[in-house]
Amino acid sequence: MERLFLKALVIRKNHERQAPDVQSPLLAQSGKRKETLIPYKDDNPTNIFPYVTIGIIALNVLVFLIEVTSASGLQKATYSYGAIPHSLLTFEKVQPVHPTVTVFSSMFMHGGLFHLGGNMLYLWIFGNNIEDKLGHIRFLVFYLFCGITAAYSYAVANPQSTIPMIGASGAVAGILGAYLLLFPHARVHTFIFLGFFITTIKIPALIVIGFWAIIQLINGLISTGLREEGGVAWFAHIGGFLIGLVTIKLWLPRRTKQWL
């Protein structure tokens, strides 16, 4: 079955800390043939310049560069500033900063180039239209709100977990939920890799995002009750997506001033 997913990275914590378990967040693969699907733009023009979307992408890139060039290394940074579910619920401080701070710090951290690139690509494709609808400030607050909800969704689903979670996937999932509700018929340009052959097609957002959401739900249900280990934080995706889908209409400005 094909898989299309964004990835919120979680890292396995043992006596010896493991390296991040990073997979490409853009791949949709079928069987052994590696048929890959990558969206790259949409046919959905905007009226305002997406300053906030670009700013968020730039900040994520900057934080990633700091992670990989720091003397302490990516792994230590993750354990220091990633969101630990158990700590989020108990407020137990086992990191240099308070657990509530890690909700925000983890939202801008990534475990590798594919993890970062996939999330930022999805944010660029779908985020500018939501910023256009909400205005700059509302969009920023909405984005953070979805990220916070995603982190606590994962924490509630894994209350005893001491594995740090990093990644913008939960917040970006909220953007996807909002986009699905507001622009279900927008056409999304997509690369299709069939072995050595590459082609492009236009797919309605309802299918692209709807299929992604179904995969998140299935994998979330499958992962329930399994032994704790690093991998994809499915419930962060689900929580972020649902909150974006359900609340986006409440965030729409009543006035026409897009900067509010």
Q: What pLDDT shows up at residue 32? A: 38
State mean pLDDT over 62-84.
Answer: 90
Q: How far apart are CA 72 and CA 17, in angstroms?
A: 14
Q: How far apart are CA 15 and CA 165, in angstroms?
A: 18
Q: What pLDDT shows up at residue 180? A: 96
Q: Which domains, ranges and CATH numbers included, belong to the chain?
A: 9-251 (1.20.1540.10)
Asked which of 80-94, 133-147, 208-222 is least confident by mean pLDDT, the reply is: 208-222
Q: What pLDDT shows up at residue 231? A: 56
Asked which of 10-14, 67-71, 116-120 is least confident by mean pLDDT, the reply is: 10-14
Instruction: Report the predicted TM-score, pTM, of the whole model to 2 decimal places.
Output: 0.83
Asked which of 5-9, 41-45, 208-212, 229-233 is least confident by mean pLDDT, the reply is: 5-9
Q: pLDDT of 88-108, one tens digit each?
A: 999 999 999 999 999 999 999
Has residue 10 got a pLDDT over 80?
A: no
CB atoms within 10 A of CB 4: 22
Q: pLDDT of 207-259, one tens digit each?
A: 888 878 887 777 666 655 544 555 567 778 889 999 999 999 999 988 644 44
CB 204 within 8 A of CB 44: no
- Of 35 and 135, more confident: 135
Q: What pLDDT shows up at residue 12? A: 44
Where are the alpha helices (H) located in the chain, listed in sequence order?
A: 51-69, 74-81, 85-90, 99-105, 113-134, 136-157, 169-182, 205-223, 234-251
